[in-house]
Structure 1
Amino acid sequence: MAHFHRLPGPIADIWAWQHRGACRDRDSAQFFHPDGERGASRGRRENAAKRVCERCPVRAQCAAYALSTREPYGVWGGFTEHERLQILREGWSGELDVRGLEARLTTPSR
């Protein structure tokens, strides 16, 4: 479940990064799994979404947003929901830990 109390207020500057996202004009279905999707089908969709994220200029901000709000669904900043849970378990310290997050962005997924 998302932690809505962690979301910032409606301040345009905080959300402006979203306008520069590589995913902005894409179908959101590429980034969020439909009910019952599993196995190879899910892996192909997630990998295609991650390829979009690889060239995104706001990838770190997107990933930080998803981690700080505990976004429960989809690929954000190149990380699936399962990968984000792993990052949180390993001790991601919040939006200020962008350097640590950027280091993860440059290493291949496990």
Structure 2
Amino acid sequence: GAVDADALRDGLVRPFRRAGGDVALRPGGDPVTDVPADAVLIVAGDALQAPELRGLWNAVVYLLLPDEPLATSGGDAGSSAQEAHARYIRQVNPRRAATMIVDVTDPELPRRVFADSC
């Protein structure tokens, strides 16, 4: 689905990067005040490689899921959510832009996929 880039950037990522800053784990949520200096921020969700968010992440892990389009869009085949997800995949190609691809179609045996051209 659509991501509020400004809320994500201003309410989560920038405060997290500020040393000693309070971080709200969700936009508009209660801030966490005891974030250790060596903390790692992991943001999970759909559409996080949208153009307005590019450059915000140090690394991007793309998860290959069973029935990937339906699993990640939250919609039924042919729904507007499914169509929006398909459009996002076509326009952004998040798998290609990811730093790392991990196949989790078998949750008991996740494996890294090397999709380079060598």
When normalised by structure 1's length, the TM-score is 0.29
Q: Which has the larger radius of gyration?
A: 2
Q: Which has the higher contact order (CA 8 A, sep 6+)?
A: 1
Q: Which has the higher strand share?
A: 2
When normalised by structure 2's length, the TM-score is 0.28
Q: Which has the higher helix share?
A: 1
